[in-house]
Structure formats: structure tokens, C-alpha cells
């Protein structure tokens, strides 16, 4: 598929120059810093050297004092405490964190994860009934609860108090919880509002420890859970999240809890897609990155919630010995294999449905429906089809008499808005700009399909129909040196709002040995034809079809990440090429 290359603005040249002098590094590196919002010497220092001491005081959060007081009181009065969380990665890591922390101080603590299918997202009546029957009088809700106005009233009537720790946007009314920790509350002045649900759980235990004069050191062992939640929930890796992610990764790479050792054991890290070739052929060692957590660890924790119960995930996360973790991880790995098989099968069925539609080429959307598909993997399949055809996509199945499914969008197109214009045809609908869920009565389905297609067709801009590669800077190959990379590496951890930089270089040629290796990967070595310099090794994963551009003898342009490649103990730089175009083709600029 053709991609648009879009070059980011370079930032204020005066600030770039000034920062460059102060830090004594070149303007290419300072441009990258300024693009990431780092504009002063002080900001650069904390960017390159994140410190746990820079974490905000948890008591700056609205209601934190009340939350801590209520927990202290519960312990003093021997109340039963129930830690309640969502079934996804963020929810289960949050529960594991708060549950183990409290359990290390106090016996009468248990946890509860609602069933994805029978109870659904958020605080359920079934969960409250469970608490009531088992004499819990305090529920700490993590990663959910901010909109549970009715069910928290239901709990209150049964003598159960709630502490809500949620990072979702509140509705018009807050629930009648004893304390509500949510940095997105209008009346909360906490300096950072992008924490994950598990990050909020961490702030709660940080506050409890601080008030009770427990050393911060005792909390560091929970940071692996926090970084996994940050990665899986796709929150920005900025501010406080960046500090938590930095130390969380450090812990995961040095001394992970048994659960993560076990999950990695089953995920055969050598099979990661982007490094497929390198790792199948050579032994390749490197540290875990945020994207490993997204692609290897996250799906395995999620699989339990999708296929059986999120309770399994929490039990794995809190295991204290490697033996018990391996046992549970094996089971979860089975769920993940089942999930993957379902996902592959449904994707194939969806693709053949599309192939059988003679009108598909003329449409601007992808909508596929099969009453027999498993609801738990529809979102994943929708994402896959969005990648494949690059259109607003809806995948549906039948459940409880309704046609119900998941929607995914392409960059800049607001699918929530488009579906919202069909609201009169829908039974349920929720979500945000890029992802939504909906259900429709069967008799309204045809009308919905037609209206959704016509709304998308009349509102989507031409540019949104072509995937885009955002380029941080245009550079000469001579800028890419070991010294440059040594500093670039310190921009990590990479993730949303601090992505690994993409560079573009125009007018390079191959040194003559380009070839296709492994599963359609293009291996080449690039150089500027008119400037002396060393050739740089490059690999373009799954782009074997571009061999002809490279072998044409004419200069071409590349955009790429810079990486380190370790081979036989020898470390060298390698360009990981995202796209290749003949030199004549243009690019855009977003100054």
C-alpha cells in the first residue's frame, strides 16, 4: 500500500540553537527534543535522567486524603476489603498491585474481576452482591467506576463504601463514592492527568505508605506492573508516566516478578515480528521495550479475560514462585493460542466475505458480519482489517438477539462521530474517536450499513484514505553515527507522544548487494552516490517487492528508524526502513 510521507515541523530555530549550545549536542538532536516538548536545560536533564524523586506528591490528588483515611479505618476496624478491577491488562495489573500491597499489611483482603460477557465492563451488580454476601464493607475500584452512579448507590444501600480509582473521563454526575481519585475530574488539580488505571493504584499505595512512614523503596517492586499497564493502555509516555515506565522497564529487564518471567518463557521473544529475520537466523539479545510489552505481554494477560476470566490473570500476576507462575502462564498461553486461532479464522472469513462483495472497491468503509463469530476477538480483527484496507471498519456478530460489534478508524477520521449520526438505528453505542462498540436490532442493520457508508463517503478527506508515515527529520546519512545513536538511545522509553524518531534521507543508492531474505525482507546497504562515506546496513521488513526500486541504479529515498544490531557479539548500526520511494516522488510538510 502506498504511504504518504509527512515531515514534522522543526520547532522554533532560536530555541533549537540555544538548547544545542547549552547541552553541547547537535541541532538535529535538539530538534528532536523540541519536537517532544523539551525546550530547556532543566527539562532535558529530567528527560535524559528520569528520577523517582520527581514523582508528584500523591496527596495533590483530589480525595487522596479521604481514600487513605478510609483504608486505615477499614484496617483498624477489621473490615473486609475487596479490590475490584476491570478485566483488561490495566485493570488486572492495578488489582494485582493494590491487592498485594494491602495483603502484605493486612489479612482480610480479596479481589474481584467481573466476567467480560455476563457482567460486562465496570462495576456490576453481581460484583456488589458478591461483596455483600461475603461481608465486604469497602470496595476499592480500579480502572473503572467513575460512571457507576447507579451501582455505587446500590452498594451504599447495602452498607458498602467505594473508593474509585479511575482515569476515564467522568460523566455529568459523579458517583456517591467515599473517595474518587480521577485526575480527569474537573475539580482535581493533580499536575498530570494521563496516568493509567494501574498508575493510579500506585499513587494510592504511595500515599498510604507516605502517610504511614513506610519507605518508598518498598514500592519499587510494583513498577513492573505499572509499566505493563502504561504500555497496554497506550497512555502517553510523558511526564510522570515516563518516569514510571523508565524504572518499570529497568526492573522488568533486571529482576522481573515470576509472572513476567513465565509469560516471556511462553512468548519466545525471538519471534517478535520486526526482528523476525535477525532472530531466526542469529542469536539476538536485546532489552525489552515498551512495544514488547504491547505485543508479547499484553495480549497474553488479556487472553485470559477474553477467553475465560480475568481472575486467572491476577492470580498469575501475584504468584510468588516461578513454579506456580509457569503453571498459570501455561494455561493463559493456551487461552492466547485459542484466541489467536479464533482471530486468524475470523480474519480469513472476513477477508473472503470482502472478496465476495463485487461492490467493495467502490466503498469507503469495511463492514462485515457473521452471526457465529466470537465477540471477544472482534476488536482485534477490526484492527487487522483496518490495517489491510485502510478504511473505517466495523466487524459484527450476533449476541442476545442483537447484531453487535467493534469499530476501528483510520488516522484523523472520527468514527465515533460517524456512528453517532446513526444513533436512531442503534441500541447501544459507546467509545471514542478511533474505536467504538455498538449494537443494532437485526431489522435496522441494512439501513445502518447504508447510512454509515454514505456518512463516511461524504465526510472522509482524500488524504485520510492513505496511511501516513510521520517523519521527524530529513537528514544526510553522515549524521547517523555511533556517537549520534548513543544519545538517541537515551530518548527511550519510546511510546505514544515520544515515538522512536523516523528519519528521511533522499537520494541514496544501494551498494549493489541488495537481496530478499527470510519472509520477504529486503536487505540492503545504502550510500550517497556523490559524497564519500561509509555505507550503512539496512533492512526493510516485509518489503521484498521494493527490490526493483533499489536495483534500478537510480537514487531513491528512504525513511527509517536507527537501531543497533548485535551480531556475533559485534554491535553495529542498522537502518530499519519503513518505506522506500523512487527519488521523483514527493513528500509533505506540516510546519
Which residues in this chain contact Mn ion in the complex, by CB under 5 A? Answer: 90, 143, 197, 233
Shortest separation between residue 196's beta carbon and Mn ion, angstroms? 6
Which residue, 121 or 295, is less far from Mn ion as judged by CB? 121
Which residue, 79 or 143, is less far from Mn ion as judged by CB? 143
**340 near 270, Cβ under 8 Å?**
no
Torsion, Cα of 413, 416, 420, 425 (10° steps): 110
Burial grade of 187 (CB within 10 A; 0-12, 13-18, 19 or more): exposed
Torsion, Cα of 338, 345, 260, 311 (10° steps): -50
Shortest separation between residue 229's beta carbon and Mn ion, angstroms? 7
Which residue, 11 or 298, is less far from Mn ion as judged by CB? 298
Shortest separation between residue 167's beta carbon and Mn ion, angstroms? 6
Q: What is the DSSP string of 516-578?
A: EETTTEEEEEEE-TTS----EEEEETT-GGGHHHHHTSS-EEEEEEEEEEEETTEEEEEEEEE
Which residue, 90 or 161, is less far from Mn ion as judged by CB? 90
Measured CA angle at 320 (ends 319, 326), to 5 deg: 55
Using Cβ positions, the residue closest to Mn ion within the complex turns out to be 90
Which residue, 88 or 510, is less far from Mn ion as judged by CB? 88
Q: Which residues contact 332 (CB under 8 A, 6 or more apart)?
A: 263, 300, 301, 303, 304, 312, 313, 316
DSSP 218: G
Shortest separation between residue 90's beta carbon and Mn ion, angstroms? 3
Shortest separation between residue 183's beta carbon and Mn ion, angstroms? 13
Q: Parallel, antiparallel, or unpaired: how do β-strands 80-85 and 136-142 relate?
A: parallel
Which residue, 109 or 165, is less far from Mn ion as judged by CB? 165
Which residue, 143 or 279, is less far from Mn ion as judged by CB? 143
**Cα separation of 425 and 419, whole Å?**
10
Shortest separation between residue 265's beta carbon and Mn ion, angstroms? 26
Shortest separation between residue 493's beta carbon and Mn ion, angstroms? 19
Which H or E run contains 327? helix 322-355
Backbone angles phi, psi at 16, to 5 degrees: -60, -45
Which residue, 271 or 433, is less far from Mn ion as judged by CB? 433
Which residue, 50 or 197, is less far from Mn ion as judged by CB? 197
Cell reading at 521: 525482507
Which residue, 233 or 279, is less far from Mn ion as judged by CB? 233
Shortest separation between residue 89's beta carbon and Mn ion, angstroms? 8
Which residue, 197 or 258, is less far from Mn ion as judged by CB? 197
Shortest separation between residue 42's beta carbon and Mn ion, angstroms? 31
Which residue, 127 or 298, is less far from Mn ion as judged by CB? 298
Cα 190 to the center of its chain, rounded Å:
23
**168 near 147, Cβ under 8 Å?**
yes
Cell reading at 5: 510521507
Shortest separation between residue 312's beta carbon and Mn ion, angstroms? 19
**Cα separation of 524 and 509, whole Å?**
10
**Cα separation of 144 and 197, whole Å?**
8
Cis geometry, peptide bond prior to residue 180 (ω within 30 degrees of 0) = no
Q: What is the DSSP string of 37-84?
A: T--SHHHHHHHHS--GGGSPPGGGSTTHHHHHHHHHHHHHTT-EEEEE
Shortest separation between residue 471's beta carbon and Mn ion, angstroms? 31
Shortest separation between residue 411's beta carbon and Mn ion, angstroms? 22
Q: Residue by residue, what is the 3-state secondary structure of 16-46?
A: HHHHHHHHCCCHHHHHHHHHCCCCCHHHHHH
Quote the longest CA-to-CA distance of the chain.
80
Amino acid at each position: 500500500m502506498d504511504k504518504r510521507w509527512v515531515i514534522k515541523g522543526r520547532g522554533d530555530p532560536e530555541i533549537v540553537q540555544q538548547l544545542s549550545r547549552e547541552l553541547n549536542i547537535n541541532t538535529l538532536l535538539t530538534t528532536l527534543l523540541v519536537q517532544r516538548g523539551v525546550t530547556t536545560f532543566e527539562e532535558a536533564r529530567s528527560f535524559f535522567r528520569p528520577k523517582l524523586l520527581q514523582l508528584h506528591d500523591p496527596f495533590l490528588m483530589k480525595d487522596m486524603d479521604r481514600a487513605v483515611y478510609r483504608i486505615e479505618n477499614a484496617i483498624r476496624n477489621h473490615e473486609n476489603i475487596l479490590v475490584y478491577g476491570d478485566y483488561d491488562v490495566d485493570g488486572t495489573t492495578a488489582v494485582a498491585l493494590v491487592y498485594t500491597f494491602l495483603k502484605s499489611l493486612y489479612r482480610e483482603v480479596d479481589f474481584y474481576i467481573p466476567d467480560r460477557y455476563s457482567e460486562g465492563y465496570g462495576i456490576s451488580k453481581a460484583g456488589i452482591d458478591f461483596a455483600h454476601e461475603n461481608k465486604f464493607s469497602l470496595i476499592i475500584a480500579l480502572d473503572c467506576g467513575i460512571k457507576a452512579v447507579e451501582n455505587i448507590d446500590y452498594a451504599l444501600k447495602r452498607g458498602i463504601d467505594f473508593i474509585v480509582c479511575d482515569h476515564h473521563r467522568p460523566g455529568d454526575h459523579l458517583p456517591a463514592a467515599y473517595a474518587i481519585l480521577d485526575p480527569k475530574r474537573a475539580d482535581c488539580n493533580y499536575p498530570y492527568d494521563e496516568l493509567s488505571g494501574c498508575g493510579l493504584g500506585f499513587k494510592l499505595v504511595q500515599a498510604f505508605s507516605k502517610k504511614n512512614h513506610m519507605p518508598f523503596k518498598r514500592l519499587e517492586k510494583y513498577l513492573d506492573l505499572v509499566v505493563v499497564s502504561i504500555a497496554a493502555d497506550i497512555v502517553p509516555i510523558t511526564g510522570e508516566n515516563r518516569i514510571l515506565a523508565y524504572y518499570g522497564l529497568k526492573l522488568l529487564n533486571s529482576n522481573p516478578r515470576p509472572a513476567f518471567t513465565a509469560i516471556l518463557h511462553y512468548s519466545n521473544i525471538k519471534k517478535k515480528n520486526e526482528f523476525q529475520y535477525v532472530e531466526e537466523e542469529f542469536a539476538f539479545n536485546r532489552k525489552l521495550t515498551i512495544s514488547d510489552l504491547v505485543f508479547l505481554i499484553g495480549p497474553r494477560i488479556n487472553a485470559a479475560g477474553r477467553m475465560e476470566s480475568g481472575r486467572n490473570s491476577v492470580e498469575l500476576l501475584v504468584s510468588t514462585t516461578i513454579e506456580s507462575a509457569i503453571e498459570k502462564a501455561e494455561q493463559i498461553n493456551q487461552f492466547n493460542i485459542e484466541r489467536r486461532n479464533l482471530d486468524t479464522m475470523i480474519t480469513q472469513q472476513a477477508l473472503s466475505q470482502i472478496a465476495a462483495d463485487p461492490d467493495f472497491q467502490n466503498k469507503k468503509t469495511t463492514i462485515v458480519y457473521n452471526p457465529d463469530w466470537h465477540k471477544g476477538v472482534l476488536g482485534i480483527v477490526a484492527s487487522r482489517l483496518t490495517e489491510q484496507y485502510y478504511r473505517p471498519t466495523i466487524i459484527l456478530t450476533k449476541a442476545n438477539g442483537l447484531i453487535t460489534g467493534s469499530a476501528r478508524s483510520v488516522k484523523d477520521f472520527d468514527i465515533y462521530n460517524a456512528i453517532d449520526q446513526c444513533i436512531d438505528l442503534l441500541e447501544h453505542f459507546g467509545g471514542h474517536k478511533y474505536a467504538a462498540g455498538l449494537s443494532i436490532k437485526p431489522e435496522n442493520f441494512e439501513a445502518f450499513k447504508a447510512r454509515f457508508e454514505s456518512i463516511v463517503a461524504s465526510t472522509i478527506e482524500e488524504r485520510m484514505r492513505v496511511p501516513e508515515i510521520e517523519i521527524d527529520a530529513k537528514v544526510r546519512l553522515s549524521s547517523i553515527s555511533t556517537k549520534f545513536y548513543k544519545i538517541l538511545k537515551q530518548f527511550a522509553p519510546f511510546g505514544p507522544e515520544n515515538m522512536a524518531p523516523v528519519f528521511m534521507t533522499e537520494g541514496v543508492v544501494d551498494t549493489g548487494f541488495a537481496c530478499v531474505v527470510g519472509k520477504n525482507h529486503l536487505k540492503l546497504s545504502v550510500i550517497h552516490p556523490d559524497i564519500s562515506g561509509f555505507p550503512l546496513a539496512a533492512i526493510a521488513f516485509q518489503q521484498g517487492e521494493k527490490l526493483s526500486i533499489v536495483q534500478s541504479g537510480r537514487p531513491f529515498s528512504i525513511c527509517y528508524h536507527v537501531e543497533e544490531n548485535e551480531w556475533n557479539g559485534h554491535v553495529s548500526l542498522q537502518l530499519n526502513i519503513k518505506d522506500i520511494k523512487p527519488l521523483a516522488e514527493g513528500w509533505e510538510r506540516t510546519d
